Chain A
Amino acid sequence: MEKSDYLLNVLETHKMKKIENLLSKYKDKREEIKNEIESEYQNKIYSPFNSGSYAKHTAINCKFDLDIVVPFKKDSFNTLKEMFDNLYDFLIDKYGNDAIVRKQKVSIGITFDSDEDGDEIDIDVVPGRELTKDDYPDSRGLNLFFNERMGLFSSNSYIKTNINSQIKHINKRENERKIIRLLKIWKYTNNENLKSFLIELITIKAFDNVNVSGNIWEQLKSVMEYIKDNIRTENFTLNDPGNSNNNVADTLDESDKEYFAERMINILNRVEDDSENLKFYFPLNKDFEEDEVENKYNVKQSSYKNSVPPTNQRFGRGIE
């Protein structure tokens, strides 16, 4: 198997353009929520803006986020908790009948009931407050509220960040985005519990620090090797482009880092054993695969003459 051709096909079957209808429903909903928030909070906020993987061009069609960041003004609420709770109450009031609204780590998730096509729209709203009065238009800095514990950050604490800078950090990095998408396909299809933001940062850091070149498999391999070689090292940092004091690697504890490295080693070893193993770690999105079945098993072209069990049959019980 030609690993690069396969991986390019994996990316192709996971492109967002494959789900344009669904995506436009998401966009419509996102605009509607933004409008509702703007008319509710008016002078208390600056213009809400888009974030999430779709905004960063790292989305894959089996798992993507369309987030809305709501920059609250410094004097809008006394505390970040009040801001968070107030927005939550508003969204419950507005959408509680048609959606499940829930508090998440730094955002409020809204999952709308399935529509007539069976599609569920899922939008996250991230409230943030400017750092000092009237500072936001220049700095774009925001304080985010931690509703739950995350890594070293306890619940009810907050973190300073700059989501605009985070989005810019990945701007025009097309090669990095491809590798990020592949690693996210691996994460999503194999139920790996890793933060996408961390995957983004470590991939970009790999490109910045080691020679990541060649075809897409060679690039992916270099990034995975970078992760396995570096994630467990002492003083390894992943600076949040939105706040250089925030080391995103701290969201992983020692065993998480060990696990991440082990996974990378495992993929590299198994693909080394047999490149066909790529198909397990980085599967095609079957919903958008080219239809090869007809060509493969078209009766008129078939060489099968007799009815025999397929050679790929599993055993262990049954007709014996």
Chain B
Amino acid sequence: MEEGLNKQVLKELEKKLAFVKSIKNLRYEGDVLNGEVIFNFPKLKNDLTFKFEILPHYPFKTYHTETIRFYNKSLIAYDHVMEDGHICFHNRHSVNLKEKLVLDFNSLKEWIENFYIKKSSNQNYEHLVVNKSIVEDSYYAFHFTQIEYSFSKDEYGLVDLTQAGIGYYNEIKLQNFLVQNFKNNSDVIAECNWSFNIKDLPNSNIGLYYFLENSPSTYNKFIFDNWLDFTNILSVEFLNFLNEFENRNLKKYRDSKIPIFFGYKIDENECFWQVAILKIGSFPTEGVPERKNDKKTGIWNSQLIDSKINWCFTKDCSYKYFFGRGKLSNLITEKKILIIGVGAIGSIVATTLTRGGAKNIDFIDYDIKEPENICRSEYSFRQGINTKTVELADNLTSISPFLNINNLQNKYFEDITKRFINDEEYKLGLTNNLNAYDIIFDCSTDDDLMYILDNLKIKGSLINLSISNFAKELICGIYPNTYRFVRNQFDNILTVDDDLYEPIGYWSPTFKASYNDVNLLVQYALKHINQKIEENKLRNFVIEEDRYKNILRINEY
């Protein structure tokens, strides 16, 4: 074990680093080592001093945070300096204490060169530093998207909100809300770009909004903390509106909490919202008589008072940020998708497409979800016995606020299709309905339905997915020729194991495979489909597991 952190190590460091003039005032406060470092090197005109503290965890991070910190409150106007003077920079990793000290002091030197000497400024938008408040017993969070409307300076109005879930943040209750729309009086001027399934949720609360020219902050970094900071920023007209709003609602809604949204542009096309919580009866305003030439005019205006602002969490959940870390091809996500059969494979396909950013998925299934289905599909126990399509729609719209589930096709689809398929009029109607979709996943494992669909004139992509017993293979048939391809695999190519699982109590043997078995193949298949759709080269394929080589192999046809 190497030598631990002590004053001697810091003194040695002082000798080692040419750009460090001195390290002094070393002292322990509890188990935290404090000190001061003076930087001096040719590009730096004068000495630059930082206080530092080193936690006992050093050189390790804790909760993804560095355990060495440098402070200089006089540098607050520079980039990457926090309100308490703490300098933020990218530290490099090392588990060797002496090496880590060298790296960290060098990183601070780089910060000095880039942001103190060259006065570089980060071009990317960075969130303001906001200390969120607990209001009574809760934190609050508001989720919005960019909207197709350009607000003007000093524009104000109302916001419709829908209550989302209640979470916990540092063991404190956190109430989540979705922003539905912005209103001027009672007219909706802009809606957030949620799916219509989200838009259809009832509005539960209202808020107020005010659009600013600039962010409500000092140094463009630290959000205002007192309502007086807004003096001369909020218009008198708006303050009077606040006063009227409060008076109008005082009797009925005293002490009710009202969020107030402050919007500002972060670039040419996008704006951000910060939200503060007000309480009716305690708005941070007071009436003052208007004066002209030192004489009261008889008119009263509102002005802000000295009062702390209670800020909330806000999240821009726009599609591009929601799926910013990774998504499927636009050639899938922008398309209308139908999934026929939402059992083990179909429900995994639906969930993956949803998490991959799909915007329109419909599905068809006649079946009921029962507890024994849950172990290898995307359903949950707590909802009990339930119609698969109903539960899946609920699950998927909980995952993505951008997924439109247009209709849950009825349970008679399969029956009617087979009963009337020789009726030309019905066939034409069925074909037209299916041709409303760009991509159809047939996960029904229904050979008859596969045959019927294969014989229709389908315009979009029809993709048939099924697996063999023990999930040894996944077979993907692509229209046209789905039926011939898939049946040839099962009838002539695959070695099929007939050791089936027989559920207790009734005779309906089924295949043996776990969620892990099924999901592995379906995910690989969807990855392949995603890539081949991009290349416009989607063909029939089989995924098979080679257990000797520990690989999954795709054979295209």
Contact = CB atoms under 8 A, between A and B. Distances in A.
B480 interface: yes
A319 interface: yes
Given A314-B490, A319-B510, 5 more contacts: A191-B480, A280-B488, A317-B443, A318-B444, A320-B372
B346 A276 contact: no
A317 B555 contact: no
A85 to B, nearest CB: 31
Contact of A312 (B344, B365, B496, B508): B496
Interface stretch (A219-227, A230-238, A266-274): A266-274
A280 B557 contact: yes
A279 B510 contact: no
A314 B555 contact: no
B557 A266 contact: yes
A318 B445 contact: yes
A316 B443 CA distance: 7
B469 interface: yes
Given A273-B555, A276-B488, A280-B557, A316 B344 contact: yes
Interface in A198-218: none
Given A191-B481, A277-B488, A280-B484, A316 B557 contact: no
A317 B366 CA distance: 11
A276 B445 contact: no
Interface string A297-317: 000000000001101111111
B509 interface: yes
Given A191-B480, A276-B493, A317 B344 contact: yes
Contacts of B468: 314-315
B177 to A, nearest CB: 37
B486 interface: yes
B498 interface: yes
A190 interface: yes
B557 A276 contact: no
A318 to B, nearest CB: 6
Interface string A257-283: 000000000100010011011011101
B451 to A, nearest CB: 12
A316 B465 contact: yes
B511 A315 contact: yes
Interface of B: 341-346, 365, 367, 372-373, 443-447, 465-469, 475, 480-481, 484-486, 488, 490-494, 496-498, 500, 503, 508-511, 513, 518, 540, 555-557
Contacts of B503: 320
17 contacts: A189-B484, A190-B481, A266-B557, A270-B557, A277-B493, A279-B488, A280-B488, A280-B557, A281-B557, A315-B344, A316-B445, A316-B465, A317-B341, A318-B367, A320-B372, A320-B373, A320-B503
Given A314-B447, A317-B443, A319-B510, A280 B343 contact: no
Contacts of A281: 557
Interface of A: 1, 189-191, 266, 270, 273-274, 276-277, 279-281, 283, 308-309, 311-320
Contacts of A312: 490-491, 494, 496
Nearest to A277: B493
B450 to A, nearest CB: 9
A281 B480 CA distance: 13
A314 B481 contact: no
B512 to A, nearest CB: 9
A274 B344 CA distance: 29
A315 B522 CA distance: 13
B500 A309 contact: yes
A8 B401 CA distance: 58
Contact of A316 (B341, B367, B488, B493): B341
B490 A320 contact: no
- Give the top 5 A-B pairs by smallest Cβ distance, nearest first: A317-B343, A316-B345, A315-B511, A276-B492, A314-B466
A312 B343 CA distance: 19
A266 B539 CA distance: 11
A315 B510 contact: yes
A315 B445 contact: yes
Contacts of A277: 488, 493, 557
Nearest to A312: B490
B509 A309 contact: yes
Contacts of B513: 315
Nearest to B365: A317
A279 B493 CA distance: 10
A316 B348 CA distance: 10
A51 B444 CA distance: 46
Contacts of A283: 484
Given A316-B344, A316-B467, A280 B509 contact: no
A308 B509 CA distance: 9
Nearest to B512: A315
B95 to A, nearest CB: 48
Contact of A266 (B493, B518, B556): B556
Contacts of B540: 280
Contacts of A274: 493
The winner among B491, B493, B497, B556 for most chain A CB atoms within 10 A is: B493
Contact of A317 (B346, B475, B490): B346
A261 to B, nearest CB: 14
A313 B512 CA distance: 12
The winner among B342, B446, B485, B557 for most chain A CB atoms within 10 A is: B557
Contacts of B445: 314-318
B492 A279 contact: yes
A281 B492 CA distance: 13
A189 B481 contact: yes
Contacts of B467: 314-316
B345 A317 contact: yes
B557 A320 contact: no
B516 to A, nearest CB: 15
Nearest to B506: A319
Nearest to A191: B480
The winner among A189, A277, A280 for most chain B CB atoms within 10 A is: A280
Contacts of B555: 270, 273
Nearest to B496: A311
A190 B479 CA distance: 10
A263 B5 CA distance: 67
A311 B500 CA distance: 9
Nearest to B500: A309
A259 to B, nearest CB: 9
Contacts of A313: 469, 490, 496, 511
B172 to A, nearest CB: 43
Contacts of B372: 320
A179 to B, nearest CB: 21
Given A280-B485, A280-B488, A309-B509, A316 B496 contact: no
A223 to B, nearest CB: 20
A316 B500 contact: no
A281 B489 CA distance: 12
B510 A320 contact: yes
The winner among A190, A277, A317 for most chain B CB atoms within 10 A is: A317
Contacts of A314: 445, 447, 466-468, 475, 486, 490
A280 B555 CA distance: 14
Contacts of A316: 341, 343-346, 443, 445, 465-467, 518
A277 B485 CA distance: 9
A315 B469 contact: yes
A308 B443 CA distance: 23
Contacts of B469: 313, 315
Nearest to B372: A320
A166 B557 CA distance: 33
A314 B498 CA distance: 11
